[in-house]
Structure 1
Amino acid sequence: MRSSDDRVYLAPVDHLRAVAAVLVVLYHGCQLLSARIEGRRFVPATDWLYSANPAATLVFEGHTGVALFMVLSGFIFTVGAYGRPVRYGRFLTNRLLRIYPLYLVVALLGLATQVTLPTFQDLLRILTFATPAQPYGGVFWTLCVEMQFYLVFPLLCRLLAERGPGALLRLLAAVFLLRALVWLSSPAPEPHTASLYLGLAGRIDQFLLGMLAAWVYVHHRDRLRARWLPPVALALALGLLWSFNQVHGFVSDSPLKLAWSGAEGAVWALVVAAYVAGARENGGGRLSRGAARLGEISFSVYLTHFMVLTVIGEWGWFPAALPPVWAAFAVTLLVALPLTVAVSFLTYHAIELPFLRLRRPYTGAPPTAEPPRPRQRESYRGR
C-alpha cells in the first residue's frame, strides 16, 4: 500500500485538502468581510449568512472544511499505519514537526501585535494552542483538537486492526451517549453546544469515521469505485449543509446539534473513501496537478489566511456596486485567496518543508503470518 499505490493515493488526498482549505478561506472571507463592509464586528448570533441556494450555503457553512480536514486525518493515518506497529515517540515527533514550526511563527507574530511585553502565561498558552484571542488565532483551536487525536491514534489504530470496525462503531455510540448525558445534565436552561464544536469531545466522531472509511477503503476498495458513488456522496454533503444552514444550525443549541458532528463526518467520510478509491480513473492533467499542489500547502493556507483577511479588512476597499455579501465573496475569491496562496507557497517552502524533511518513518514492518501448527496425532486418529 505504501509503495506502488502512493502516487495514486496521495494526489486525490491533496485534492480534498485543497477543497477543505478553499472552503475555510471563502467562509471566513464572506462572514467576516461582509460584516466589515457594513461597518460592524462580526457576531455569529446576529450576522450569520443564510441562503436557499445550496452553492451559497456551501460557502456560508464553509467551516465544514475543518470537518473534512479531521476526517482526512483519520483516513490518512489509518491507511498508512493499518496492520503495522506504530512507534509512538516517532509518530508524535512527526506530528510536532508537521504542526509546530509554522504555528509558532504565526502565533508569535500575533503576540507581537500586542503593545505589552509577553508574559510567561502568554508563552504557555502558545505552546498549548490556547491562543484564540490573537488576531490570527481563530483557527488555533483545531490544532489543539488534532493534537489530542494524535495522542490516542496509535491505540485506536491497533484497536481497529485487532478488533475490527465494530470496536470503533461501539466507541462512536458510547461517545454520542455520554455527550447527550452531559448535555442533559447541564444546569443551564439552554445548554450550549459550543464546547462540543471546539473540542475533541464533539469532534472525535469525525476522526473515527475517517478511520472507518480507511478500513472500508483497504478491505473493499473495488466496491467503492462505482462511478455514481462520488457524485452521490457529494450531493449528500451539500444537502446536509443546506439543511444545517436553513435551520440556523451553527448558532443553535438544539439537541439535534449533538448529532451534527457525526452526520457531517459521515458524509465527508463517504466522499473521501469514494473519491480516493476512484482516483485510478481520474486524469492527471494540469487541473489535477494544480489542485494537488494547493493541497500540499493547505496547512499554510489554513494558518495564514487570517493574516491576509485582516489586512484586507483594514485596507477597506470593496466594490461599492455589489451587495455586501457579494462584495465580500468577490474580494475573497479574487484577492484574498490568491494572496493567501502566494504567501503560503513561500511559508511552506521556507518554514514547513525544512522540518517536514526531518520526519522519519513511524511504522514498523507488518507482523508475519504465524506458521501453521503441526497437527496433533489425536487428529489423525480421529480421521
Structure 2
Amino acid sequence: MRNYKIDILRGVSILLVLLHHFNIPYKLYDTWLGISVFGEPLSTLIARNGNYGVTMFFVISGFLITQHTLQRNGSLTQIQLKNFYIRRVARIIPCLVLLVAMVTILGYLGLKPFLNQAPNGLEVSYGLTIFAAFTFWMNILIIEYGWVNYALGVLWSLSVEEVFYLAFPLLCLTLARGKAFVLFLVLMIAYAPYFRSLHFGEESGAYLYHYFSSFDGIALGCLTALFAQKFSIKLIKVKWVIPVLVLLMSILYLYAPIKEVSTWSVTVFALLTAILIFCFAQCPQAPATSIFSKIMVWIGQRSYEMYLFHLIILGLIKVLYIPKTTLPDQKIMLLVIFLVTTFALSWLIEKYYSTPLNERIRQKWITKKPQIN
C-alpha cells in the first residue's frame, strides 16, 4: 500500500528543485515574488536551497528501497539479486534512455542548452557524457569538468543513487545477518560531513555532488525503514511531532545558502527528513483528503519524470526567451508555463511510456515465488 504522505513529501521536494532551477537563469527577485523577507527577496529564500529537495529524495529513496525489500522478502538477507536489479532497471532505464534520446535530437538541431559546453575550458565529448550517464558517474564528470551538458546535469543525483543500489543487495547478503549492516550505514552517515568539510565551498561542487557527500541521506533512509519495522510511536505523539519537524526543516532551509553551511546542514536536514518519514510510517494507510494534498500526491507520484525532464522544458524556454533580456512580468508568465508544461510532459511520459515499460519488464523478467497450497 502506498504511503500518500511520502508522496506529498516527494511533491514538495520536486517543487523546490523546479523553483531552484528556474531561478538560476530567470532571477525572480525583480518580480512580485521578490518582496523582502528578513532582508532577503522571498524568491531567493525559497529558491536558493533547492538542493535540499534532492536530499529529501535521497532519504525517501533509501527508506522505500529498504522497506520494499523487507516487505517482499521478510528480511534483508533473503533479498533476491536478480529481481532487485530488474526492478531498478525497469524503473530507471526507460526514462534515462528517453532523456538521452531527446537531448541528442535537440542537440543535433543546434539548440545550445542541449549541446556539450566547456565551462572550465576543458572539452568533453558527447560520447563520454552519454557513457557517464549510463554508467552512473555523471556527478564525477561534473566535478571534474563542470556542467558539460545542461539538460543531462540532473543525472548527478541518479548516479549517486544507483551506485548505492548497485551495492545494496550485496551489502544485505554479506552484512545484514548481524549488526554489521547498521554499522556500515552509521559509518556512511558519519563520514559524509567530514567529506563535505574537506571540499567545503569548492567551485567543483564536490561538497554536494560526490557520492560520499550524499550517501548519508540514503543511509538515513535505510536506517529509518529498519527502525520503523521494529518500533512505533503512538499516533497522538506523531500529531505534534510532525509540525515541529516541518518547522525545524523550514528554519534550516531558510537559514543560509547551502554552500555556506553544507558541512553539517545536509546531514541535519536528512535526519529531520528521516524522522518525518518515520512518523509518516506510523499511519501508512491514511489517504489524501484535501484538494491541496491530492495535488501534491499527484505531483509526487510523477516526481522522477519531472526531475529528469524538467530541464528539457527549461532549456527550450531559454532558447525562446534569453534570460538576460527577459522582463519581470515575462518571468512570472514563464514560470507558470514552465511548471504546467513540466507537469503535462511528465504525466504523458509516466502514463504512456515509463509505467507501461516498467510493468512489462517486471512481468517478463522477475521470478515469482512459487505459491504454497
Same fold (TM over 0.5): yes
Matched, 1:229 2:245: no
Query: Is the contact between residue 193 and residue 213 of structure 2 (CA under 8 Å) also seen in structure 1?
Result: no
1:107 counterpart residue number: 100
> What count of residue pairs does the alignment treat as equivalent?
332
Distance 1:54 1:274 in 2: 30
Q: Please give the residue correspondences for 1:40-79 in structure 2 after superposition, counting only pairs within 5 Å.
A: 52=40, 57-79=45-67
Q: Please give the residue correspondences for 1:157-168 in structure 2 after superposition, counting only pairs within 5 Å.
A: 157=172, 159=175, 162-163=178-179, 167-168=183-184
Which amino acid in structure 2 is aligned with residue 341 of structure 1? F
Query: Is the contact between residue 209 and residue 269 of structure 1 (CA under 8 Å) also seen in structure 2?
Result: yes
Say if 1:63 and 1:173 are closer, same or farther in 2 by CA, change over 3 A. Answer: closer
Say if 1:300 and 1:283 are closer, same or farther in 2 by CA, change over 3 A. Answer: closer
1:24 counterpart residue number: 17
Distance 2:130 2:67 in 1: 36
Query: Is the contact between residue 227 and residue 278 of structure 1 (CA under 8 Å) also seen in structure 2?
Result: no
Which amino acid in structure 1 is aligned with residue 339 of structure 2? L
Shift of 1:220: 2.4
Distance 2:322 2:225 in 1: 45
Which amino acid in structure 2 is aligned with residue 240 of structure 1? L
Distance 1:362 1:207 in 2: 27
Q: Please give the residue correspondences for 1:72-221 in structure 2 after superposition, counting only pairs within 5 Å.
A: 72-82=60-70, 83-84=75-76, 85-112=78-105, 113-114=107-108, 120-129=127-136, 130=138, 132-157=147-172, 159=175, 162-163=178-179, 167-168=183-184, 170-172=186-188, 175-176=191-192, 179=195, 183=198, 194-221=205-232
The alignment's C-alpha RMSD in Å is 3.8
What do residues 142-178 of structure 1 show as CA deviations (whole Å, max 9, x unaligned)? 1111111101222455646631885256414652486
Matched, 1:241 2:218: no
Tell me the secondary structure at the aligned position of residue 79 of structure 2.
coil
Query: Is the contact between residue 104 and residue 126 of structure 1 (CA under 8 Å) also seen in structure 2?
Result: no
TM-score (norm 2): 0.75
Which amino acid in structure 1 is aligned with residue 340 of structure 2? P
Shift of 1:300: 0.9
Say if 1:163 and 1:13 are closer, same or farther in 2 by CA, change over 3 A. Answer: same
What do residues 211-245 of structure 1 show as CA deviations (whole Å, max 9, x unaligned)? 122223222233465211111111111111122x2
Q: Please give the residue correspondences for 1:290-369 in structure 2 after superposition, counting only pairs within 5 Å.
A: 290-316=295-321, 324=328, 328=331, 331-332=334-335, 334-357=336-359, 358-359=361-362
Distance 2:281 2:39 in 1: 31
Shift of 1:273: 1.9
Shift of 1:364: 7.4
Q: Please give the residue correspondences for 1:280-291 in structure 2 after superposition, counting only pairs within 5 Å.
A: 280=285, 283-291=288-296
What do residues 269-309 of structure 1 show as CA deviations (whole Å, max 9, x unaligned)? 12222234345555535444433222221111111111111
Distance 1:209 1:216 in 2: 10
Distance 1:304 1:191 in 2: 28
Say if 1:280 and 1:302 are closer, same or farther in 2 by CA, change over 3 A. Answer: same
Distance 2:129 2:67 in 1: 38
Query: Is the contact between residue 165 and residue 215 of structure 1 (CA under 8 Å) also seen in structure 2?
Result: no
Shift of 1:327: 6.2
1:13 counterpart residue number: 6
Which amino acid in structure 2 is aligned with residue 26 of structure 1? L
Shift of 1:314: 2.6
* Structure 1 unmatched runs, 5+: 1-5, 39-49, 366-383
Tell me the secondary structure at the aligned position of residue 33 of structure 1.
coil
Query: Is the contact between residue 81 and residue 363 of structure 1 (CA under 8 Å) also seen in structure 2?
Result: no
Say if 1:191 and 1:17 are closer, same or farther in 2 by CA, change over 3 A. Answer: closer
Distance 1:97 1:124 in 2: 19
* Structure of higher RCO (CA pairs closer than 8 Å, 6+ residues apart): 1
Distance 1:175 1:204 in 2: 9
What do residues 305-331 of structure 1 show as CA deviations (whole Å, max 9, x unaligned)? 11111222232299x998x5x864663
What do residues 95-121 of structure 1 show as CA deviations (whole Å, max 9, x unaligned)? 122111111221232233145998754
1:259 counterpart residue number: 264
Larger Rg: 1
Which amino acid in structure 2 is aligned with residue 331 of structure 1? L
Query: Is the contact between residue 27 and residue 59 of structure 1 (CA under 8 Å) also seen in structure 2?
Result: yes
Distance 2:42 2:177 in 1: 39
Query: Is the contact between residue 133 and residue 155 of structure 2 (CA under 8 Å) also seen in structure 1?
Result: no
Tell me the secondary structure at the aligned position of residue 218 of structure 1.
helix
Distance 1:125 1:300 in 2: 20
1:273 to 253, 258, 278: 278
Say if 1:102 and 1:177 are closer, same or farther in 2 by CA, change over 3 A. Answer: closer
Which amino acid in structure 2 is aligned with residue 337 of structure 1? L
Which amino acid in structure 2 is aligned with residue 359 of structure 1? R
Shift of 1:35: 8.2
Query: Is the contact between residue 90 and residue 362 of structure 1 (CA under 8 Å) also seen in structure 2?
Result: yes
Which amino acid in structure 2 is aligned with residue 111 of structure 1? T
